Structure 1
Amino acid sequence: MQMRNSFLAIGAVIAGSTLAMLGATWAATAIESRSAAAARSKLLESGITWVAVDSDGLQVRLTGTAPNEAARFRVVNLVGSVVQSSRIRDELDVTAMRAIEAPRFSVEMLRNDDGISLIGLVPGDGRDDTISSRVAGLAPDLPVSDMLEAADYAEPESWSAAVDFGLEALSMLPRSKISVAEDRVAITAISASAEEKRRLEADLARRAPQGVQLQMDISAPRPVLTPFTLRFVMDESGSRFDACSADSDAARARIIAAGRLAGAEGKLQCTVGLGVPTPRWAAAVEAGIAAVAELEGGTITFSDADVTLLATVDTPQALFDRVVGELQTKLPGVFSLEATLPPKRDPALQGPAEFTAQLDDKGMVELRGRLTDELLREAVDSFARARFGADRVYIATRLDSEMPEGWAVRVLAGLESLALLHQGRLVVRQDLVEVSGVTGNSDARDRISRILSERLGQGETFRVGVRYDEAFDPLAALPTPQECVAGLNAVLAQQKITFSPGSAEVDGAAREVIDALAEVLTDCPPLEMEVSGHTDSQGSAGGNRSLSQARAEAVLSALQGRRLPVQAFVAVGHGEDLPIADNETEEGREANRRIEFNLLREPEPGPAPSPVAEAEAAVAAARAEAESGAEAEAEDGTETTTTAGANADAADSDGGDGAEGEEITIAAAEVDPVNGAVRSVTIPAGDASEAGANAEDGDEALEFVASDESYPRPPRRP
C-alpha cells in the first residue's frame, strides 16, 4: 500500500512538471509571436519594407541591408519602441559607401558694354586665375569681375577645349552670355544685323570642337522695311516670291504656308521687319496669293497699302471679275486694290519701243534702245557712269520724242535696279520693266522689287528674275576680323619675330615673318587691333614693360613700312604681366618672349550720307550758279551740261510750253567714294512724263532722286 502511494506521488510530480513546461513553452511562443508582429507593424507604418523580422525565444532578430548607416539606426530605434532593447539582435548590413564623385564644373561668362563677369566652379588646386587673365587679354578696355571658385579635382577630359571655345566666342560677341561645361557650350547673344547673325552662327559652328555640344541663340534687330513689300508671281516658270515681308514670325509662317498652297516650292524666304501698314498684313497677303492661284497665273504686289493684281493675257474676263470682286471684299479697308487684265495682243503690233541695258561679268554696261531727247540721254549717261564707273559705260541709244509717258522714270528706276547685280540685263517697255541676272547680294531681289514698286507706282508692271550666287558675295569672299587675327597669330605660332638680345631691333631673320604677316593683312578689312609685346620675368618689371613696348612699336613700324591699312593699330607693351609658360625654365622664358595680335573691336560701318540731302544741295548750288549768271555755253551754240548741277539752254523739243533759251537743270551727282551711290538726276518733263514733276517758275521738271539705300557693287573674287 505504501509502495502504491509512492508511485502515485511520483506520477503527480511528473504530470505537474509536464504541465508547467507546456505552459511555459506556450507563453514564450505567444510572446515571440506578439513581439515580431509588433515590430513588423511599426516598420510598415514607417514605410520600411527591406527589413526581415524573426523571433528566437524572447529575442527579436533584424536582418536586411540598409541603404546607409542612418537608415539602420532608425530601424533599431523604431523596433526598440515596441520591444525591449535588450531583446533586439541587430544583424542588419549597410550598403558600402561609394567613392566621392567630382562636382560638375561650369563657367558663366557675361559680357556687355560695361564689363565682363565670370561666375562658376573650375577644377584646380586652390585659386586659378588662368581664365580671368585670358579674359582680360581679350578685352583690355573692359573691367573683369572674377567670381570663380576652384575645387581640387582632376580636369575633365574635354574641359580645356570647351573653355577655349567659350573664350573664343566671348571675343567675337560683345553682348553675350556664354555657359561652358565640360561637354556643352551654350551661347546667347545679340548681333547688330541679320547678316551678322548668319555670319556669326556659321563661324561659331565651324569652330566648335569635337565632343562639345553647341547651343546657339543669337538674335538680331528687325530691319525697317520701306516700302513694306511683297510680290508673288505665278507664271510658266512656277510659283515664287520675288519679295516677301512679314511683321512677325507667325505672319511669316502664314504667308509661306499660303505660298506653298499656291505651288511655291523649295526654300522660301520672308523677311521679318518693321513698318507694316496694318496688323492684318498676313490676312491680306493670304487673300492676294489665293486670288492669283484661283486665276491660275499672274502677279500680285503689295507695296505698303497699295495692292496691284495683274492677270495673264489668257485669263477669262468673267473669272477675272469674280476673283477681283472677292479679293476686294476680303482685303482690309486700309488697302487700295488696282487690278489689270491685259488686253489680247494683236499679232500685227509686235516690236514695241524699248530700252535695254546689258551688264557683263567684267562690269561693262551697254545702253541701247530709245530715249525721248538729248537731255534724257545725258541724264541716263551721267546716271550710268555714276553707278557703274565712268569708263565702263557704252551708250548707243536713239532719240524718239513719241515715247510713252513716264519713260524717264522707268529707265532710271531700271538702271538703279541693274546696279545691284553682278551681271544682268534690263528691258524697259511701255507695259513692262524687267530686270534679270546674277547677284552676290542675298537681298538684291527684295530690294529691286522695292525700288521698282516705289518708283513706278501703283498698277505698273515689272518682272524680277534675279539669282543669288555666293561666289559674288563680298561677305563670303572676305575673311572675318577674327579670321584675320587667327591668321596673324598662326604665322607667329610657326615662327616667332626675334630681336637682338636686350634690344627692340627686329632681327634680320624675322623679315620673312613680317612678310607673312603682311600677306595675311592684305586681304583683311580695316581693323582696330593691338600689337602686344611680352617678355619673360628676368630683369625689372619696369624695364621689361619698356622693352616690350619698344618691340611692339618696332613690329608696327615694320608693317607700316609695307603700306598696309594699320592706321587703327596700337602697340602695347605688357612686359612680364601675362606669361603663358613657367618663367623658371629656359623653355618657358622663351615662350613668354613673344609678339601677339589681339582684336580690339569689330569695325562698325559709319552713317551713310543721305542721297536725297546731297541731291538737294547739288540742285541748290546749280540754281545759285544759274542766278549769278555762271552759265557755260559751247562755242558752236549747242547746250552743255556739267556733271553736278550743270545748266544748259535748250529749246522745247516737242513744241510744248518751254520757250527757246529756257534754263534747264541737270543734276547728276558724282559717285560716292565709299559705296558708289548716285545722288540725283533732274531732267525736263518734255519726255511726256508727269510722275515726280516739280514746279519751277511755272515750268514743269521731272526729278528722279536716288533711294536712301546705297548699293555698292560687290567685289569680284579672283
Structure 2
Amino acid sequence: MRLSVIAILSGTFTAAAAMSVVAAVFSVGAIEDGSIDAVTERLRAEGIDWAQVDANGLQVFVHGTAPDEAERLRAASVARQVVDAARIIDETLVAEAADIQPPHFSIEILRNDDTVQLIGLVPADFDRARLVGTVTGIVGEDGEVADLLETADFPVPEGWNDAIRLAVRALEDLPRSKVSVDADSVAVKAMADSVEDRRRVSNALERASPGSLAVSLDISAPRPVISPFALRFVKDGEGARFDACSADSEESRQRIIEAARAAGTTGTPGCVLGLGTPSRDWGAAAAGAIGAVAALDGGSVTFSNADVSLIAPQGTPPDRFDDVVGRLEAALPDPFVLDAVLPEPPDPAADRGPVEFTATLSPEGQVQLRGRLASEVARTTVDSYARARFGSDAVTIGTRIDDALPDAWSARVLAGLEALSMLANGSLRVTTEGIAVRGDTGNSEASTEIAALLTEKLGESEYDIEVTYLEKLDPSLGIPTPPECVAQIREIVGNRKITFEPGSATLDSSAKDILDEIGELLKLCGDIPLEIQGHTDSQGREVMNQQLSQERAEAVLNELRRRRVLTAAYRATGYGEERPIADNDTEVGREANRRIEFTLIAEDPQSDEPLASEDVEYPEPTGDEAFEDAIAPEDADDAAEDEGTGE
C-alpha cells in the first residue's frame, strides 16, 4: 500500500509539471504571435512597409533595409510604442548613400553697392572661398561680404560653374542687384544707372550666357531727364512722322501716338518716356497740336518745353489757318504758348540760284564744308568750330561769301554742324527754308536729341531730320570693330588647327567646333570687309599649290555661309606658296606654311582693287605657339607625302 501511494503521488506531480510546461509553451507562442502581429500592424499603419518583424520568446526583432537613417530610427520608435523597449532588437540596415538624391543647390546673391550677402546651399566640392574672394574683389577692400552659405557633401552638378561665372559677371556690372543662381538658370533683378547702361549690360550678359543656361533678366533703369522736353511732328509729301517725341507717362505717350496715327502716321512710332515735362497736361497739349497739323493737312509742330511753334504748309488759305490756330490756342492748357507761322509765297524775282550750305561726314570721319556763308568772320568761325568738333585734320572747307544771306544763317549753320556731330556719318543741308539732317547713328535716341537741340538753338525754324539707327554703330552693345573682330578670330583659333583631308579642300570633321565659334563671332561683327586667305608650303607644283589654297579658302567661306554669316563683303583668295611664314626646308616650317588666315580689306584710293589692310609680319615658328593666328592642316606627315601638292 505504501508503494502505491508514493507512485500515485509521483505520477500526479509529474503530470502537473508536464501540463505546466505545455501551458508555458503555448503561452510563449501566443505572446510571440501577438507581438509580431501588433508591431507589424502598427508599422504598416505608419507607412513603414520595408520592415519585417520576428520574435523569439519575449524578444521582438525588427529587420529590413531603411531608405535612410531617419526612416530606420522611426521604425524602431514605432515598434517600441507597441511593446516594451527592452524587448525590441533593432536589426535594420540603411541603404547605401549613393542612392540618396542630392539636394537642390542654389545661391541668392544680394548686392547693395559695397555690401553683398551670399545665401544658399552649395556642394562641398565647390570652391566657396574663391567665390567669396572674387566677390570681395568686386566690392573692394572697404566693402562687406556676408558669407551665409551652407554646404552639403555632394559633387558639383553639371552647369553649376557656368552659372556662377555668369552671376559674378552680372554682379560686376550691377551695383544694386539680386542674382539667383542654380545649376540650370540665372535670374537677375537689378537697377541700372541709365537706359544705355541697361541695354549694354543686358546685351553683354546675353552674349556671355552659355546656350544650356536659362537666363532671366529684369533690369530697370531710371527715366532720363529730357531738357528741353521736346516733341516735333511733321506732315509733308513724305508722310506723317515724328522727328522727336517725349512723354511724361505711359498714358501720355499712348495719347500722343493715337493722335499721330489719326494724323496719318503708320506703324508704331517711338516716344521716349522721361522726366522734365513743363506741365502735367503735356499729353493733351501735344495731341491737340498734332491734331492741328492734321487739320492743316501738313506742316509741322515743335514743342520745346512750354514753347509751341506751328508752321503751316506754304499756300494754306489764311482763313483756314486762322481757324485752326484759333482753336488750338483756345485748347492749349497753361503754361503753353503758341507761335504760329504761315509762310509767305516765294518771290520769283528774288531767285539767285541755290542758297545753301552743305556739310558731309564720311564713315571714316572726314568732313567737307561747301556752300555760302555770310561773311569772312562767319567762315573763320565755322571752320574753327568744325575742326573743334570733328578734328583739325578731318575738315576740308570750300565755301564762298554771300552778304545777302538771312540774319540767322550763321546760327543755323553752327547748330546744324553740332547736330551732324551727333551722327556716325551723314549730311547737313541749310537753306533759307530750313535745315535737313540725314545720316546713320548708334544712338537710338539721336533723332529726339537732334530735334531738341535745333529747337533750343533756333526756335521755330523748319527742320527735316532723317536719322537711321544701326545696331553695329551702337557702342553700348559692345559690337567689336573690324580690327577687333580679326583679333578675336585669332584668339578663337589659338593653338588649335582646322584640318583638311590630305591633298584636298575637304574640311576634316574636327573643324566644326572652331568654325562654329568663328561663325558666331562674325554674326556679331556684321558685314565687315574680310579676306579669307589660303596658303600652302612649297612642295609640289606651284600651279597646283595655288589652286589648292584657293579651294581651301573657298571651303572655309562656304562653311561660314552655311552658318548664316553675312559674307557679301568677304572674299576668298588662294596665295599658294608665295607667302611663307617659315622655312619650307623643315617639317615644322612646312606645317606652319599650310594655313588659312583672316585679314581686313581696305580700299586703295589709287586703285579699284581692294588691298589687305594689315602688314603681316612672319616670325620664325617656335613649336605650336608659332601658329596661334593660323588655321592649318594637322596631319603634316600625310600632307608632305601627298603627291603633286604643297598641302
Q: Structure 2: give runs of 5+ residues left out of the alignment.
A: 1-40, 50-98, 497-647
Please say if residues 442 and 468 of structure 1, whose CA atoms lie closer than 8 Å, have aligned partners that are also in contact.
Answer: yes
**1:334-369 deviations in whole A, cap 9, x for unaligned?**
001112222344556544633232333443333333
What's the offset of the Cα at 1:116?
1.8
Which deviations, in whole Å up to 9, do the C-alpha atoms of 1:667-688 show, x marking residues without a partner?
Answer: xxxxxxxxxxxxxxxxxxxxxx
User: Is the CA contact (8 Å cut-off) linking 1:357 and 1:365 kept in structure 2?
Assistant: yes
Measure the CA separation in 1 of the matches of 2:213 and 2:477: 26
> Are the aligned partners of 1:189 and 1:218 in contact in 2 as well (CA < 8 Å)?
yes
Whether the 8 Å CA contact 1:422–1:472 is kept in 2: the answer is yes
Q: What pairs up with 1:399-548 in 2 under 5 angstroms?
A: 399-457=401-459, 459-476=460-477
Q: What secondary structure is seen at the aligned counterpart in 2 of 1:402?
A: coil
**Change over 3 Å in CA distance of 1:393–1:248 after alignment to 2:** same
The alpha-carbon distance between structure 1 residues 268 and 188, as it changes in their structure 2 partners (threshold 3 A), is: same
2:167 is paired with a residue whose SS is: helix
In structure 2, the CA distance between the partners of 1:153 and 1:254, relative to structure 1 (3 Å rule), is farther
* In 2: Cα distance, 1:424 partner to 1:407 partner: 21
Shift of 1:378: 1.8
Q: CA deviation at 1:277?
A: 0.7
Query: Cα gap change, 1:199/1:67 in structure 2, threshold over 3 Å: closer, same or farther?
Result: farther
Aligned residues: 402
Q: CA 1:319–1:214 in 2, change beyond 3 Å: closer, same or farther?
A: farther
Structure 2 residue corresponding to 1:395, chosen from 384, 394, 397: 397
1:206 Cα deviation (Å)?
A: 2.1
Q: In the superposition, relative to structure 1, how do residues 203 and 364 fare at CA in structure 2: closer, same or farther (>3 Å)?
A: closer
SS at match of 2:308: strand
Alpha-carbon distance, 1:382 to partner: 1.7
| Offset from partner CA, 1:489-530 (integer Å, 9 cap, x none) | x799979xxxxxxxxxxxxxxxxxxxxxxxxxxxxxxxxxxx
How do residues 119-130 of structure 1 correspond to structure 2 at under 5 angstroms? 119-124=119-124, 129=129
- The 3 A distance-change label for structure 1 pair 330 and 101 is farther
Structure 1 residues 174, 314: closer, same or farther in 2, change over 3 A?
A: same
Aligned to 1:215: 216
Provide the C-alpha distance between the structure 2 equivalents of 1:315 and 1:275, rounded to a whole number of angstroms.
Answer: 34
Q: 1:380 aligns with which of 379, 382, 388?
A: 382
Deviations 1:389-417 (A, max 9, x none): 22333333332333222222122212222
Question: Aligned AA for 1:443?
Answer: E
> Retained in 2: the 8 A contact 1:166–1:178?
yes
Cα 1:110–1:394 change in 2 (3 A) is: same
- Per-residue Cα deviation, 1:525-577 (whole angstroms, up to 9, x for no partner): xxxxxxxxxxxxxxxxxxxxxxxxxxxxxxxxxxxxxxxxxxxxxxxxxxxxx
Deviation readout 1:611-632 (Å, 9 max, x if unpaired): xxxxxxxxxxxxxxxxxxxxxx
Correspondence 1:286 to 2:294: no
CA distance in 2, matches of 1:428, 1:156: 65
| Cα distance between partner residues in 2 of 1:153 and 1:133 | 22
Q: How far 1:479 sits from its partner (Å)? A: 5.2
Distance 1:66 1:328, change over 3 A: farther
Describe the SS at the equivalent of 1:410.
Answer: helix
Contact 2:126/2:156 (<8 A) preserved: no
Task: Judge conservation of contact 1:254–1:282 (CA < 8 Å) in 2.
Answer: yes
Does the CA-based 8 Å contact 2:113-2:139 persist in structure 1?
Answer: no
Which residues in structure 2 correspond to 1:258-273 (within 5 Å)?
258-266=259-267, 268-273=269-274
Q: Is the 8 A contact 2:367 2:390 kept in 1?
A: yes
Please give the alpha-carbon distance, in whole angstroms, between the structure 2 residues aligned to 1:183 and 1:137: 26
- State how far apart, in whole Å, the 1-side matches of 2:382 and 2:140 are: 52
Aligned counterparts of 2:273 and 2:478: Cα–Cα separation in 1? 26
| Residues 373, 379 of structure 2: 8 Å contact kept | yes
Say if 2:197 is the partner of 1:184.
no
- Distance of 1:309 and 1:321 partners within structure 2: 12
Q: Describe the SS at the equivalent of 2:382.
A: helix
Which structure 2 residues correspond to residues 13-52 of structure 1 after superposition, within 5 A? none
The answer to whether the Cα contact below 8 Å between 2:114 and 2:140 also exists between their aligned partners in 1 is no
- Contact persistence 1:127–1:149 (CA under 8 A): no
Provide closer, same or farther for how the CA distance between residues 291 and 100 of structure 1 changes in structure 2, counting only shifts above 3 A. farther
Counterpart contact for 2:292–2:325, Cα < 8 Å: yes
Deviation at 1:475, TM superposition (A): 4.2
Residue 226 in structure 1 maps to residue 230 in structure 2: no
Deviations 1:656-704 (A, max 9, x none): xxxxxxxxxxxxxxxxxxxxxxxxxxxxxxxxxxxxxxxxxxxxxxxxx
1:466 and 1:285 mapped to 2: Cα distance? 22
Separation in 1 of the partners of 2:452 and 2:151? 57
Deviations 1:125-147 (A, max 9, x none): 79954543443455553332100
- Which residue number corresponds to residue 697 of structure 1? none
214 and 360 in structure 1: CA distance in 2 versus 1, 3 angstrom threshold = closer
Q: CA deviation at 1:311?
A: 2.1
Is the contact made by 1:434 and 1:464 (CA closer than 8 Å) also made in structure 2?
A: yes
With over 3 angstroms needed to count, the CA separation of the structure-2 counterparts of 1:256 and 1:491, relative to structure 1, is same
Q: Who is 2:253 aligned against?
A: 252
Question: Among residues 351, 355, 358, which one is paired with 2:357 in the alignment?
Answer: 355
Match of 2:107 in 1: 107
State yes or no: 1:370 paired with 2:339: no
Letter in 2 for 1:124: A
Q: Which whole-Å CA distance do the structure 1 matches of 2:214 and 2:262 have between them? A: 37
Alignment of 1:11-90 (within 5 A): 68=47
CA offsets 1:225-265 (integer angstroms, 9 cap, x no match): 22111111222222222111122344334333433343333
Q: Which amino acid aligns with 2:399?
A: T
Gaps of 5+ in 1: 1-61, 71-98, 496-718
The residue identity in structure 1 corresponding to 2:249 is S
SS in 1 for 2:405: coil
Structure-1 residue corresponding to 2:276: 275
Q: What letter is aligned with 2:265?
A: A
Contact 1:415/1:426 (<8 A) preserved = yes
Superposed displacement of residue 119, structure 1: 0.6
Letter in 1 for 2:117: S
Q: Which amino acid aligns with 1:279?
A: R
The equivalent of 1:342 in structure 2 is: 343
Question: 1:530 corresponds to which residue?
Answer: none
Amino acid at match of 1:365: V
* Distance of aligned partners of 1:182 and 1:220 in 2 relative to their CA distance in 1, 3 Å threshold: same
Identity of aligned residues (%): 48
Q: Report the secondary structure of 1:210's partner residue.
A: coil
Task: Please tell me the residue identity of whatever aligns with 1:284.
Answer: A
Letter in 2 for 1:368: R
Q: Look up the match of 1:577.
A: none
1:118 is displaced (CA, Å) by 0.2
Matching residue of 1:18 = none
- Deviation track 1:188-212 (CA, whole Å, cap 9, x = no partner) reads 2222221111011111122223343
Structure 1 residues 386 and 160, CA gap change in structure 2 (3 angstroms): closer
CA shift for structure 1 position 111: 1.9
Shift of 1:167: 2.4
Distance 1:143 1:204 in 2: 25
- SS of residue paired to 1:379: helix
Is contact 1:127–1:150 with CA below 8 Å preserved after alignment? no
* Counterpart code for 1:390: S
Displacement of 1:214 after TM fit?
A: 1.9
In structure 2, the CA distance between the partners of 1:455 and 1:349, relative to structure 1 (3 Å rule), is same
User: Contact 2:416–2:430 (CA<8 Å) still a contact in 1?
Assistant: yes
**Match in the other structure for 1:329:** 330
Deviations 1:426-446 (A, max 9, x none): 222233122222334333322
Pair 1:203-2:209 in alignment: no
Secondary structure (helix, strand or coil) at the match of 1:276 reads coil
Instruction: State the shift of 1:173 in Å.
Output: 2.3
Question: Runs of 4 or more off by more than 6 Å in structure 1?
Answer: 490-495
What amino acid maps onto 1:189 in structure 2? A
2:472–2:479 Cα contact (<8 Å) kept: no
- Whether the 8 Å CA contact 2:234–2:240 is kept in 1: the answer is yes
